[in-house]
Each structure stands twice: as C-alpha cells, then as structure tokens.
A and B are shown apart, each in its own frame.
Chain A
Amino acid sequence: MLGLIASLKKNKRLLLDLVGRDLRARYVGSSMGFFWSVIFPLVNLVVYMFVFSFVLEARWDEHQPKEVTALLMLAGIVVWQAFAESVSRSTNTLVENQNLIQKVVFPSEILPPYLVISALANMLIGIAITLLGVVFYAYIQPVEYATGTPSNRVLGLGPSLLALPLLMMLQALFTLGVGYFLATLNLFLRDVYHVMGVALTVFMFMTPIFYPAEKVLEAGMTWVLQINPMYWLIDSYRKILLWGDWPSPPIVGMFALVAVLAFFAGSSFFQAQKPRFPDLL
C-alpha cells in the first residue's frame, strides 16, 4: 500500500503526462474537439428526458418542474459516467497496454489512476454545465414551483460547494479500488471485460439516476439503496449541486468507509499480482 503511494508519487510526472495525453486524445482526433465533452452529456440527457418524461410520462415528484428534473438527471448522469467510464477502461487497461508492460519496465500501477483522473477532469465540465443550469433557473430566470414545495427542494447554491473536492476525492478512491480490482481480475478471466458492459448497465438502472429514490422506497426495495454506494455518492452530489445543502454526514461517512475499503482491497490484489503481469498477458 505504501509502496503504491510512493510509486505514484515518484511517477507523478508520467501520470500527469498520461492524463494530458488522454484528455487530448479525446479531442485531438476530432474536429469539434473540446465541445464533445459538453455535447455528450447533454445528448444523453435529452435522450433520457425524452424516454422518461415524455414517453413514460414519469415525473420526478409532484413538486418538480421539468427544468429541475433535467438538472437532477444531468447531475446523476455526469457523476455516473465518470465512474462507469473509469471502471470499464480500467478493466481493460492492462491488456491494452501490454506492449508497455511486456517490453519496458513500466509502472503499471499508474494506469488505473490516470484513467480515473482523466474521467474526473472530464466530469468537471459536466458539473460546470449543471451549475450553470442551476444558476440560470435559480437566479436568472427562476422556475415556478408548485405550492407546498419544501425549501430544501428549491434550486440554489450555497457554501456546501466547498464539500465538492472531498466528494470527488472519495469518488476517486472508490473508483480506483474497483478499477484496480477489475484490471487484475481481467488478466485471470478475460471475460470480465465483456461482462462489465452488461454489469454497468444493470448497475446504472439500479441506481436512482433517472428516477427519484423515493420510488424505490415506495416499492419496498429499500435494501437496493442500502447496498448501493453509488446512490450515496450521487445523492450527496445532488444535495450540493442543486439544493445548496450539505450532504448528510452519515452517508458521506459510510461512502468514505466503503471507498477506503475498496481502495485497500483492490490495490492490494493488484500489487500482489503485479509481478506476474508480464506473464499473464
């Protein structure tokens, strides 16, 4: 564990180079460049809004106008995408970079971190869009709420934004743990990468991203939320980004515990098997 942290520190420059390369790779080959990271979540949002709000006529709850529903979904999508992208790319990253692992003395432990950092950097753009939307509908052209809307369900920003870095750090830790674990496992069982595509979709729909958590509670399936750390994370983000509330300490605390455990377990597995990587590829 300490070895891992020391190595990340030692290879900081290479790590940042890889992040830079990855961020540019997203845009260099395309003419629209940077704007893709703006357009992509928005297109996703439009699609899901269309399906859920118009086709299925689902409403977030009786209080929320559709602008707020959109922002709720957007916040969820943006956070989820950063997680899902990091995890699925991490799973395959050792295989993808086998050239480096087999031909050069290469610190493979920096691969999942660079993917996570790159995804989080990209997520910041999505968060910025969400915040712009909140500012617009809260202060510039306020939306109308139904009477009786509780005050903690009215758009607004507050000092709780200061908690964002903490949340992102915990998210990084959790994602890294899962990423390290799956990257290693994938060397033993190449099917893991293929399964991940399906598993992440199932996981996404089990997480209240396109529907309010209350629907799950009403259906009597509370346990689904109780075992889902991504719900705790997304819920905390929404509190900060939309309502200007502080996230609930027990939930953040629980997520922090899970994140540390995941990181510890994942990175230990990775480090233990690392000497074998060149042989396993």
Chain B
Amino acid sequence: MASPHAQGAGTSAILAKGLGKAYRMYDSPSKRFFELFAGGRKLHREFWAVRNVYLDIPHGATVGIIGENGAGKSSLLKLLTGITRPTEGELSVQGRVASLLELGAGFHPEFSGRDNIHLNCSILGMSEAEIAERFPKIVEFSELGDFIDRPVKTYSSGMYVRLGFSVAASVDPDILMIDEALSVGDEHFKGKCINRLNEFREQGKTTIFVSHDMGAVKSMCQHVVLLDRGEVLAQGNSESVADEYLKRAKARGNERLSAFNRGSSAYPRWGTGEIETLEVEMLDAAGSSTAVFQTNEPFRVRMRYRVHAPVKDPVFGLGIYRSDGSYVNGSNHHWREQPIRIENVQPGEEGEVVMSFERMPLLQGAYYLTTFLYDHSKAAPTAVDHREHVCTFEVIDAARLQHGMLFLPTIWTLTRRRDGREERLESRS
C-alpha cells in the first residue's frame, strides 16, 4: 500500500503510461511447471488483457471505467490497486488505496460478524486503534442487529454483503476503487452505499468505479474511460463517451445476436403446418434489420408466411418476453377493436405480417419474441405454426429516465403553496 501523500494541486492521483498486462497461457498445466527450469525459454503464449492504457486522473476526480464483459475492466482495476503487476508501462499511484473488488473477501464462516469485522479490518491495513474507533460505526452501518454475534455462515447473502460493505466503507483511503460492488443488496442499502460514495467525493477523495452499466457510471462520474478488448477506445466527459459506447454496443449486440438468432431453431416449434411462418425480422426506424433498439425508438417486427394448405381462420400473433421469462405483452390482429380477418387462404399464397410500435416502450434489458399462428375457427384455437423464442433482441436505454421494465408516459405535477400564492409546476415528458 502506498504511503499517504499530500494532495498537492496539479499532481495526479493516478498516472499510467502505456500500461499493459499480459497473462501467460499454457497449453497444459505441466508446461507452467517446466518453464521454471527452461532457463528463460518461453513455453507460453501471451494474452494481453490490458494494453496501451494512458490515464491521468487528478486528485478528487470520480472516474468510471466501462466496457463489455471481457474488455479488461477488472484487469485494469487489479493493476491500479496493485494486486497484480504490469507487464509493461509505468504506473504511479499517490495516496492510500482501498479496493472493493469483492465484498467480504476473507470472511470466515464459523466466526461471528464481530470477529470477522476485526479480522477484515486488519487485512485492510487498519491499526488496532483505528479498528477500536471505527468498530461501533461499522456495526451500526451494517444494520445487522443481533446477528452481529452469530456466525457469518448463518447470514443471508444480503447480510453478508452488507457486512462486507460496512467494513469497506469504514476504510478511509485517499483513493477508492470499486468493482460493481454496488450492484448488490436491497434498495435501502444501495442508497446508503451511494450516500457513502457521495460523502467520499465531497471530501475530495478520488474514486474509480468500474461497471458495465453506462447509466450508473453516467450518474456518478465526470470522467469516463471506455475499454474495448483491453484498449482504451475513448475517454473524456461522460456524454461523449456514452455516445461512443452506444454505437459500440449496438454494433456488438447486433453481431452477437444475429449469430444467436440464426441458431435459434433450438427452441420448440409446433403446429399442424398448413401455413408456415418464414423469417422473422426486427426493423429499426430506417427499416433495416437489427437486434438492438433504443427505448422510445420506432420498432417493427415483420414475419413472412407461405401457405401450403387451406386454413379456415388463421390469426398471427406475437409475444414479447423478457430474458428471465416474464411475459411482457402479447397481441394478434384478430382480438382488436378493428380486427383483421384473413379469409379463403389457398396453397401458393405468400405474404407478410407487420406489428409495429411507434415508440419502443421497453427499458434496458434483453428480450425475446415468440410468434403464434393459430386457427381460430374452432372454440379453442389450434396451433398452425407456434414458434417459441424465435429471436432475441436487446434494448439500450442511454437516457435512463425511468427504471424497471417499461417506459410509461407519465405526467408529473407539483403544486406549491406559500405566501398565500399557489404555484403549479408540470412536466409532461
């Protein structure tokens, strides 16, 4: 751990020049052993998790590091904290560093929360006096009540995290590095954590925050570093990096999802088969096929069909599900105030069905579609061609104006009464 350092104006808290970390990859575990005796001969290949990283982070800044899974965020953070050593480049970190890569690392399940606080504090480098002073605060912050004297193995995962964060929050470093530690715990506790971070920022401390959630990073950081395949793709103020991020995320999401959607025949499909639904496409505002949408952007689903044999009363339908299986919405062209009826379908007929939203109402997340084609001529409709999970798409919500699953058009009004006057404030969007 670096020694405490006076926070002189104009000095950098973190200065990295051409920082890189290569991991050694071995074809077999034994090669790693034999390399010890190979006299400098290389028996490994190198994998660069992070490379060519230049950072200049001033004291007191709150910096976000974002990127997709595997972009090298955690590897970079490990370098900055000093847990791993860089393979190349220079790094200077000024000030006492505390890192929260994992909450409760090193807790012993048999010991009480009290004992674990003690031990964890000394692992984090606190002196006996510091521990004694902060102990009551930690216990209070964790809100564990009587559980503090029970073995940690009896804790729920939420309690475990609370204890871990309480210990970590009590550390008083100059630089705090956090790896998505906030994405856990209930809303109440999350709020407390964010308060603690804000407090920290107000004290002029430096914070590095790693996440793949652009929204969280944007709301907390002035400066954002975007990593991609180990290299810095963009860095600067959060607005400009967010744009870059969205562009990348769309391109990447499409790349990934188009491959995935081609292979989606793995999901169940059933029906009598007189009419066959062919490809299902998702279209954006420009009418081009995509798998990544933005909230409030136009969204259309188009499916083509071909008729092999007559069906009396065919009805096309569409179901939207969230990736966890929650049924978001289902509709068809028949159960409407102005239904569409298709009559007299004969073999050889082809056509297309389009369902569209003017504004995509879904918020950030992954979703999938199921298409229905049922014959409604009988009391209970029978499946002609039912295709489960026919394609997957993602929704990105950069604005993050609302939280949850759906964007709902809300109107907010606020009425203020003071000095005998009434003032009405309204927001329609």
Contacts and interface: CB of A to CB of B under 8 A. Distances in A.
Interface of A: 13-14, 17-18, 21, 24-25, 28-29, 97, 99-106, 188-190, 275, 278-280
Contacts, number: 67
Nearest to B1: A105
B83 A103 contact: yes
B149 to A, nearest CB: 13
Interface string B108-122: 101100010011001
Contacts of A105: 1, 81-83, 97, 99
Contact of B105 (A99, A190, A279): A99
A14 B131 CA distance: 12
B83 A104 contact: yes
Interface majority SS on B: helix, strand, loop or mixed? mixed
B36 interface: yes
B101 interface: yes
Contacts of B119: 17-18, 21
Given A105-B1, A105-B83, A100 B123 contact: yes
B128 interface: yes
Contacts of B118: 17
Contacts of A18: 119
Given A188-B33, A275-B85, A103 B105 contact: yes
B322 interface: no
A279 B83 contact: no
B24 interface: yes
Given A17-B118, A105-B1, A279-B24, A99 B99 contact: no
7 contacts: A13-B122, A13-B127, A101-B83, A104-B101, A104-B124, A188-B33, A278-B83
Nearest to A277: B84
B313 to A, nearest CB: 62
Contact of A103 (B1, B30, B85, B101): B101
Given A102-B83, A103-B105, 20 more contacts: A13-B127, A17-B119, A21-B111, A21-B115, A21-B119, A25-B108, A29-B110, A97-B106, A99-B106, A100-B106, A102-B78, A103-B99, A103-B102, A104-B83, A104-B99, A104-B101, A188-B32, A190-B29, A278-B78, A279-B24
Interface of B: 1, 23-24, 29-30, 32-33, 36, 78, 81-85, 97, 99, 101-102, 105-106, 108, 110-111, 115, 118-119, 122-124, 127-128
A189 B24 contact: no
Contacts of A275: 85
Contacts of B32: 188-189, 280
B93 to A, nearest CB: 11
A14 B122 contact: yes
A158 B99 CA distance: 55
Contact of B106 (A13, A24, A104, A190): A104
B85 to A, nearest CB: 5
A32 to B, nearest CB: 15
Given A13-B128, A17-B118, A104-B124, A188 B36 contact: yes
A189 B29 CA distance: 7
A102 to B, nearest CB: 7
A279 B110 CA distance: 29
Nearest to B153: A29
Nearest to A15: B122
Nearest to B2: A105
Nearest to A189: B33
A106 B123 contact: yes
A202 to B, nearest CB: 22
A105 B96 CA distance: 12
Contacts of B105: 99-100, 103-104
B111 A278 contact: no
